[in-house]
Amino acid sequence: MAAGAGKRGGTAGDDGVIVEFHRVGNAVKVSAVDTRSFLEVSILAPTTASEKEMTDTVLKKLAWVQAKKAGQGSPPRGKR
């Protein structure tokens, strides 16, 4: 997995989501920013995780935070 920035569109907002990966020691900090609301979340993942696993996890967290801000309550179900 190479460190750097990637872009994923259309997942959390109509204008898209920017996903960034930054290696920090033996972990990867993954950030997602909704380009419409500028809401940003991040996770720390092991370097052994695939880019897809990291992206899926940070996008689930972004969706959860958006739902929480909108007053919709509980987080989405799935792997932790």
pTM over 0.95: no
Measure the CA–CA gap between 43 and 61, rounded to whole angstroms.
Answer: 8
Residue 58: band (very low, low, confident or very high) from pLDDT cuts 50, 70, 90: very high
Q: Work out the percent of the chain whose per-residue pLDDT is above 70.
A: 71
DSSP bridge partners of 30: 21, 43
Q: What is the pLDDT of residues 10-40, one digit of tens each?
A: 344 445 999 999 999 999 999 999 999 999 9
Q: Work out the percent of the chain whose per-residue pLDDT is above 90.
A: 68
Q: How far is CA 47 from CA 3, 11, 22, 43, 62, in A?
A: 10, 24, 10, 12, 21
Which stretch of DSSP H or E encloses residue 31?
strand 27-34
